[in-house]
Structure 1
């Protein structure tokens, strides 16, 4: 049975992608806690992050760090936060969140964003990733998880 994330990754449902590689993708959540909030999701579905092989889990953390550094630059925030909960979708995903203060890390604060807000935030984050030298992993189209 495919998950909502499988459908986003394969293009059945729309997504706004900032990262794509052989093991994972990162895309905007439609209910961010702050502008620039993204999900790092393995291409292979693992129900819980502890089910992922160690090399996959380590890669997800490496990608989350690169995105967190780009968020600090793109959104002029003092921190980037990381949350791994996984109750809402049974497919491993890491929430990488630009933090202005500790309340931004609270997933209960998540609220729907407009298309314009999401497009603006993801455009800024994609540019920050490009500027940081991650161009090989920024998909050519924001609407696709396809590798270059």
Structure 2
């Protein structure tokens, strides 16, 4: 059974897409820790990030860097943090989170709530920086 992320890639579930290419997909996390919290995934469904073949994993980091640089320009922050947990969804993914402090990347923090229009505006801000 395809993961929720595979369903997003296939257009079966809507998302706030930031970017995609033939191998990777980036979209806003719908339960964000910070404004602009973005997920980067390989289109190929692999559960554990360290099971991804070398070339695909390396390419995923290069793709994530492009998204992080756009995030850095679009959302005021001191840094864009990177986290890989992989426990929530059985599809490897990288969290890119704009940070003001280390506490901003604590996954125990309450998640932010945005309206559909706010999510679309955030996604547009990031896309304009790509």
Matches within 5 A, 1:85-104: 85-104=85-104
Q: Deviations 1:74-125 (Å, cap 9, x if unpaired)?
A: 1121100100001010000000111121122122223443212211111100
TM-score by length of 2: 0.94
Q: Deviations 1:39-80 (Å, cap 9, x if unpaired)?
A: 001100011000100111111111111111111111121100
Q: RMSD of the TM alignment (CA)?
A: 1.1
Distance 2:94 2:81 in 1: 10
Distance 2:98 2:107 in 1: 13
Gaps of 5+ in 1: 130-148
| Displacement of 1:26 | 0.2
Moved over 6 A (4+): none
TM-score by length of 1: 0.83
Distance 1:96 1:56 in 2: 18
Gaps of 5+ in 2: none
Alignment partner, residue 10 of structure 1: 10
Contact 1:35–1:117, Cα closer than 8 Å, also in 2: no
